[in-house]
Amino acid sequence: MTDAELILVGGLLLAAGIGAAMVADRVRVPGLVLFLGLGMLIGGEGLGGVEFSDVELTRTLGTIGLVLILFEGGLTSGWKEIRPVIGPALSLALLGTLITALIAGFAAKWLFDLGTLEALIIGSAVAATDSAAIFAVLRGSTLRKRLARSLEGESGMNDPVALLLVVGFIAWIQEPGYGLLDMVGEFVLQLSVGAAVGIAIGFAVRSAFRRLSYPTAGLYPVASIASIGLSYGIADVAHGSGFLAVYLTGLVLGTGILPARGTITAFHQGVSWVAQISLFFLLGLLVVPSELGNVALEGIALALVVMFVARPAATLIATQVAPFRFRERLML
């Protein structure tokens, strides 16, 4: 494929993604479902016949996409919006994700006939409320602001928690002598370092934005991209959670006076949409429909357990002392 053809295909796919988003908004279906379907349609067993199985490339691009989505989520929320619901959001992100992972994990153990640790990896992988989906759906919803902000705050923080659980259970399987105390220690270290780096970078960048005068407003989004790279990179190198760091950096930048705020926010909202479209399109390309039959019933059953058992139980427990009515807790 020539460079021109590659650019043309990229443009067509983005245009199709935008069209899918507009259709989804009209029929009240999450756009990400259509992006996923678009990827499957163009994939090897779809109409497009595009063979794609590069999991490593998908992981790299997925990490970049999630980083951009998390930063935009923090930037557009700001501490002022998250502060009133920080307690419930933290409880849901930490305790709620853990309980969901445990319930889903033991359900996966029974459904797929797996070992306990292998099943808990699956449970952890499905425990988080996907930040891309949550941010995309809630921004256009009429849900009460307090509930929406609670879910956004949780989604910004529970991806790192679920990832650490997955990595921890894998290490437990692969490394002799690794156990629960090691996992807890790594968990505390990564979240602490990630939080410290994210907040520090956020304040440093916000101060720099206020003190420096760029020759054009277009440089502010470029500088904000640099802050994302610094936040994720420094946190990860220091054995912290880069995802948590990026979300908190965005949260700090979204708080208080910020030069060219409108330009920065509009830029990252657009970038976030591109990331969402690309991420779910790639995931759709990886799906091989003919292989789903072997696990379809078990997978659907696990999804039902997560939706109607694990998530409700985890939410009711995690929000015991939160200032929500019972119906609001069920909504969460």
* 199-258 pLDDT tens trace: 999 999 998 888 888 888 888 889 899 999 999 999 999 999 999 999 999 999 988 778
Q: How does DSSP classify residue 140?
A: T
Count other Cβ atoms within 10 Å, centred on residue 26: 7
What share of residues in the chain are helix, strand, coil (percent, to 5)? Answer: 80, 0, 20
Q: Is the Cβ–Cβ distance between 313 and 103 less than 8 Å?
A: yes
Tokens of 63: 């990490």
Q: Which of 170, 99, 144, 84 is nearest to 318 (CA)?
A: 99
What's the confidence (pLDDT) of residue 294? 80
Phi-psi region of 255 (alpha: psi -120 to 50; beta: other; left: phi over 0): beta
Q: What is the pTM of this model?
A: 0.88
**Sign (positive or negative) of CA dihedral 145, 34, 299, 61:** negative
**Tokens linked to 299:** 């997978």
Burial of 262 (0-12, 13-18, 19+ CB in 10 A): exposed
- Write down the domain spans for the chain: 55-331
Instruction: Tell me what pLDDT residue 135 has.
Output: 66
**Element at 297 (helix H, strand E):** helix 296-305
- When computed from its CA atoms, the radius of gyration of the chain, rounded to whole angstroms, is 20
HSE value, Cβ hemisphere, 13 Å, CA-based, for 86: 11
pLDDT at residue 25, as a whole number = 66
Report how far apart, in Å, the C-alpha atoms of 196 and of each of 37, 101, 168 are. 39, 26, 21
> What integer pLDDT is reported at residue 111 of this predicted model?
92
Phi, psi of 169 (to 5 degrees): -70, -35
CA nearest neighbour of 134 among 151, 149, 147, 146: 151
Query: How would you write the pLDDT of the chain (332 residues) with one tens digit per residue?
Result: 677 877 887 787 778 777 776 776 676 666 677 788 888 888 777 777 778 778 888 888 888 988 998 898 888 887 887 888 888 888 888 899 999 999 999 999 999 999 999 999 999 998 887 666 676 666 656 667 777 788 888 887 888 888 888 888 898 999 888 888 888 898 899 999 999 999 999 999 998 888 888 888 888 889 899 999 999 999 999 999 999 999 999 999 988 778 888 888 888 988 888 888 888 888 888 888 888 878 889 989 999 999 999 999 999 998 887 788 888 888 87
Tell me the DSSP string of 4-60.
HHHHHHHHHHHHHHHHHHHHHHHHT--HHHHHHHHHHHHBTTSSS-B----HHHHHH
Q: In degrees rounded to 5, what are phi and psi of residue 314?
A: -65, -40
- For 43, 47, 136, 214, the CA distances from 40, given in Å and listed in that order, are 5, 9, 21, 44
CA distance 250 to 78: 8
> Which CATH code is given to the segment(s) 55-331?
1.20.1530.20
